[in-house]
Chains A and B, each alone.
Chain A
């Protein structure tokens, strides 16, 4: 009996990690350091829409959306609508694209990032809590703290900037739906990009 209880408890635990970041469920809480070394907590953003964007400066899929200015445009559009946008680098020290805080700030200035926060997640804790798989990979958390989008920037998994205009804008459509209080279509889809380099 006891064993059974333990087994079911373990089962439940496994299940909860498996579905740590599931659309429709509360977004996993986290506290992490930003590029300036300050603590940033998801809880501090209560009542606001939050975007989590996984980033790696060396990844050609990330470059596609930055060299074209697409990601910066999305950042400035939505931060202009009171959305908190966190750009997160979960590459481990020694892995390609790892950036320590000051270097991350430099890269962000250089590329013209318009995010609200640059998060240094070298332990990969935040990335693993959300099961962030690729760079880029985007999540949207609504004002109630529920995860409402987990997926790609758009529908074309290529590195070609010319494809941006041709693609279905899955992330932007989801943002617009959340901002206007509508339900999000295609709320879970396969992100495309490079590995996160945990």
Chain B
């Protein structure tokens, strides 16, 4: 009995967040608090640690690869947000452009218990990923669980990691807008930013979050164009009909915080 209790503590304690090794990465699920209040969202995050030489993939994986796949086992009435992706790096593997992560990446997820939640609850998540190196691709998956009990939330040892990860997720910013027009086989991108912002788009790394819209291998660079910023992107070979939507992520030295900006026709 004592042993069983100890095991339960080890598995649920954030210090000992269970890490599941599979393929060439290891996954663990962190929570900001082991306790929850009914109806109040809890921040959690899945952490993926890649073996040296291996990378995993962003939301737009690029020309090959695969984004994360999540399957939920939620207690009645519980809700899980979409997984958020931190800013990726770009790489080239065997001539194919890709976006993703090396070493370690933390993906925030918000859980919301129902207003009626009053019992200890176990939330289950099966997460699958793909890791590749220059020579091979190997998938991995992990069945992760969080055991949460009703009570006043108190920060776990992972709370700081999670809030840092949330800050690293690109977010929309007031006054930052994108417009896109087609000029032959190219896309003309126009970016507006508030005059008083500390953003320099020409010093930003730009990532296309929309798959199959622009050619992933051609970097996008914004340049000052009067009061606005302009860039040219190459249309993807797989764009079916006129461009309808484009989401970009701007990150790096040119911006204090990573920015997400979206455009859609109409």
Report which A residues bind B (CB closer than 8 A). Answer: 58-61, 95-97, 133-134, 157-160, 186, 188-190, 192-198
Contacts and interface: CB of A to CB of B under 8 A. Distances in A.
A197 B238 contact: no
A197 B133 CA distance: 11
Contacts of B61: 157
B69 A158 contact: yes
Contact of A159 (B66, B96, B236, B238): B66
- Counting from the closest, the 5 A-B pairs by CB-CB distance are A195-B94, A96-B136, A190-B238, A96-B135, A194-B137
Contacts of B211: 190
B238 A196 contact: no
Interface in B51-66: 61, 63-64, 66
Contacts of A159: 66, 128, 130, 139
Given A59-B137, A60-B139, A96-B136, A195 B93 contact: yes
Interface string B83-94: 000000000011
Nearest to A128: B95
A193 B64 contact: yes
A117 to B, nearest CB: 24
Interface in B219-261: 236-238, 240
A195 B64 contact: yes
Contacts of A97: 136
Interface residues of B, number: 23
Given A97-B136, A186-B240, A194-B132, A157 B94 contact: no
Given A60-B139, A95-B135, A97-B136, A197 B66 contact: no
B167 interface: no
B66 A157 contact: yes
A198 B137 contact: no
B240 A195 contact: no
A1 to B, nearest CB: 26
Contacts of B94: 95, 195-198
Question: Of A186, A190, A198, which is in contact with the most chain B CB atoms at under 10 Å from its CB?
Answer: A190
B167 to A, nearest CB: 30
Interface centre among B69, B132, B136, B236 (most CB of A within 10 A): B136
A60 B132 CA distance: 10
Contact of A133 (B96, B132, B137): B96
A133 B237 CA distance: 12
A96 B134 CA distance: 9
Contacts of B95: 195, 198
B15 interface: no
21 contacts: A60-B130, A60-B138, A61-B137, A95-B94, A133-B64, A133-B96, A157-B61, A158-B66, A159-B128, A159-B139, A160-B69, A188-B237, A188-B238, A189-B238, A190-B212, A194-B132, A195-B63, A195-B93, A195-B94, A196-B94, A197-B94
B133 to A, nearest CB: 9
Contacts of A60: 130, 137-139
Contacts of A196: 94
Contacts of A198: 94-95
A58 B96 CA distance: 18
A194 B212 CA distance: 16
A134, A193, A194, A197: most-surrounded residue (chain B CB, <10 A)? A194
B136 A134 contact: no
A197 B139 contact: no
A190 B135 CA distance: 22
